[in-house]
Structure 1
């Protein structure tokens, strides 16, 4: 079925802006919140592994300049680098999951798989592989010679239990959003065809 000719609106209404913001918040905001959750729990895992006899505070949130940012970037940078890399890996993984719904924007995932697109099929695994290599190299380089480090085995289980499976939840969320967008677009197409048919009938000589 051919699409009706789209006539772009001259004025962008508040409803259109609100709808656009809502859809993109639903798509991206859950991923960002889960990344921050995993980042916090990774730092918490590092704090649990640090000896309590160490004179520096391991508070994740601190308003003291002596026990806050300075400590994390100097004394506890071994835990910070792991948390940063886990955060970055999850962001890349979630953006790859979000891209699943953008490959074929008008077709559901179960009707048209994203793997039919050759560019996506090559780009996504390549980006994830590059991110894994960067993850390993960055931790090895930046953790060298630090007094306190954090191994991936010591990371809180909630990070893995929440962060990795959430990629599938993101796919489901984006498919639901896409389904809503397709319904709105189909409704708009029907209105355009009805409007065109009405104008054509009014101008008909018969």
Structure 2
């Protein structure tokens, strides 16, 4: 029974984790190209970082010289996780009903927490960017490649559909277990009936 729950959890959370990691790699690759263009460097981006690693550039080239780029990629992924938490949690509001049949506008606590998550994430990004605004070179959200944003936005409806599919599998399994329990109960009751 534990393996079934692990598979169910992997179906719900695994693909989202993979998409966030893929977008992180896209961000690093795009920022690496910006680093090479701005620095007039000709080396290629290897392992999603500048290939010319010297003593002052640890972390595969993202160290002391280009930490703003690495932090920007991390902020993008943190924001993605915060935004993905909202549709993901919407699929958990009802155990068996699909999200489009569940009345989200009546779930006041869920709506309040969703808005709070977005506001706190916005403040976190604002404070982080304000602290790092003087760092040179200043690689910001505009240096993130467009395809990273496209992947991040397209994943939201796919995330909802995947979780609804997992919910349907769970519902079928739950209905089957209920029917078995009912049959077992009726059979035992019939065997021990005084009639």
* Superposition TM-score tier, normalisation by shorter sequence: 0.7 to 0.9
Matched, 1:184 2:184: no
2:187 is matched with 198
Counterparts in 2 of 1:65 and 1:32: CA distance versus 1, 3 Å: farther
- Offset of residue 184 of structure 1: 0.6
- Greater shift in the superposed pair: 148-157 or 169-178: 148-157
Matched, 1:79 2:66: no
Q: 1:29-85 CA deviation, whole Å, 9 max, x = no partner?
A: 1111111111111122222222343599864257x6844417423100111111010
3-state SS of the aligned residue for 1:108? coil
2:40 is matched with 53
1:38 is matched with 23
Unaligned runs of 5+ in 2: none
1:11 is matched with none
1:1-16 matched pairs, under 5 angstroms? 16=1
Output the CA distance in 1 between the equivalents of 2:69 and 2:43.
14
Output the CA distance in 2 between the equivalents of 1:188 and 1:198.
15
- Offset of residue 94 of structure 1: 1.6
The alignment yields a C-alpha RMSD, in angstroms, of 2.2
Aligned residues: 189
2:110 is matched with 120
Output the CA distance in 1 between the equivalents of 2:63 and 2:81.
22
1:38-187 matched pairs, under 5 angstroms? 38-50=23-35, 51-53=38-40, 59=46, 60=48, 66=55, 67-69=57-59, 71-141=61-131, 143-187=132-176
* Greater RCO, 1 or 2 (C-alpha within 8 Å, sep 6+): 1
Output the CA distance in 1 between the equivalents of 2:105 and 2:111.
5
Contact 1:104 1:114 in 2 (8 A): no
Unaligned runs of 5+ in 1: 1-15
Output the CA distance in 1 between the equivalents of 2:15 and 2:28.
20
Q: Tell me the TM-score normalised to structure 1 length.
A: 0.83
3-state SS of the aligned residue for 1:150? coil
